[in-house]
């Protein structure tokens, strides 16, 4: 059992909280109450950033002391939304939210994952008609191993998990969000994920 704090209680955060609790982990959700995020992060071994990506950097940088020596799992995408509310551009072109978080939190182990799919797939990958992939980006091998174990608890087969390398590789997976509005406009909100065919 791992103590986990989920920052963000929207669809993504709620979905992850339910699945990780069902898998036997001790999960705390930080609501919007003052100090809730700091209290949750302080008590956890792993912190999941499921807050809206546009405000994540400022929000998490303020928790540098609470996040010291913790694993921060970043599942958000920092995007500029178009008139229809769907992603139309990246807030950090040529970089990524994950890289900015790692720069702002040098004593935290940032791992990017689960950001290349619609949120229902995060906790139910086997429901897709073909095997999806999930990616890991991060500078610390042990942190990525710990996050990989959480992914298995969420239903991801080990062979579906691809370690891309250091945190700078997150700019590639974050850029993949630009596929999403076009796929949704073409096929609706049917769950999907990126898959690497070999």
Q: Is residue 192 part of a domain?
A: no
Q: Is residue 178 part of a domain?
A: yes
Kindly tell me the sign of the dihedral angle through the C-alpha atoms of 158, 162, 168, 173: negative
Q: Is residue 193 part of a domain?
A: no
Q: Is residue 197 part of a domain?
A: no
Q: Per-residue pLDDT for 170 more than 90? A: yes
Classify the phi-psi angles of 19: left when phi > 0, otherwise alpha if psi is within -120 to 50, otherwise beta. alpha
CA distance 3 to 24: 10
DSSP one-letter code for 85? S
Q: Per-residue pLDDT for 17 more than 80? A: yes
Q: Per-residue pLDDT for 189 more than 90? A: no
Q: What is the pLDDT of residue 69?
A: 98
Q: Is residue 132 part of a domain?
A: yes
pLDDT digits (tens, 9 = 90+) for 96-136: 999 999 999 999 999 999 999 999 999 999 999 999 999 99
Q: Is residue 195 part of a domain?
A: no
Report the domain count for the chain: 1
Q: Is residue 41 part of a domain?
A: yes
- Domain with residue 113: its CATH number is 3.40.50.720
pTM (predicted TM-score) = 0.96
Q: Where are the beta strands (DSSP E) in the chain?
A: 3-7, 26-30, 46-49, 71-74, 79-81, 87-90, 109-112, 134-138, 161-165
Q: What is the pLDDT of residue 32?
A: 74
Question: 1 pLDDT band (50/70/90 cuts)?
Answer: confident
Q: Per-residue pLDDT for 154 more than 80? A: yes
Q: Is residue 196 part of a domain?
A: no
**CB of 36 closer than 8 Å to CB of 30:** yes
Domain around 41 = 3-187
Structure-model confidence comparison of residues 95 and 32, the more confident one = 95
């Amino acid at each position: 059992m791992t103590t986990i704090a989920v920052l963000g209680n929207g669809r993504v955060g709620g979905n992850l909280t339910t699945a990780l609790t069902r898998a036997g982990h001790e999960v705390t959700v930080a609501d919007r109450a003052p100090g809730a995020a700091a209290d949750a992060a302080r008590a956890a071994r792993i912190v999941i950033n499921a807050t809206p990506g546009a405000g994540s950097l400022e929000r998490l940088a303020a928790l540098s002391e609470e996040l010291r020596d913790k694993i921060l799992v970043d599942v958000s995408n920092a995007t500029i939304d178009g008139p229809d509310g769907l992603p139309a551009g990246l807030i950090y072109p040529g970089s990524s939210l994950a890289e900015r978080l790692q720069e702002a939190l040098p004593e935290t182990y940032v791992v990017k994952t689960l950001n290349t799919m619609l949120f229902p797939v995060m906790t139910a990958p086997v429901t897709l008609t073909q095997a999806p992939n999930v990616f890991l980006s991060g500078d610390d091998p042990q942190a990525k191993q710990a996050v990989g174990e959480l992914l298995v608890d969420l239903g991801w087969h080990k062979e579906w998990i691809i370690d891309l390398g250091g945190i700078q590789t997150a700019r590639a997976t974050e850029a993949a969000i630009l596929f999403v509005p076009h796929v949704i406009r073409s096929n609706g909100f049917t769950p999907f994920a990126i898959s690497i065919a070999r």
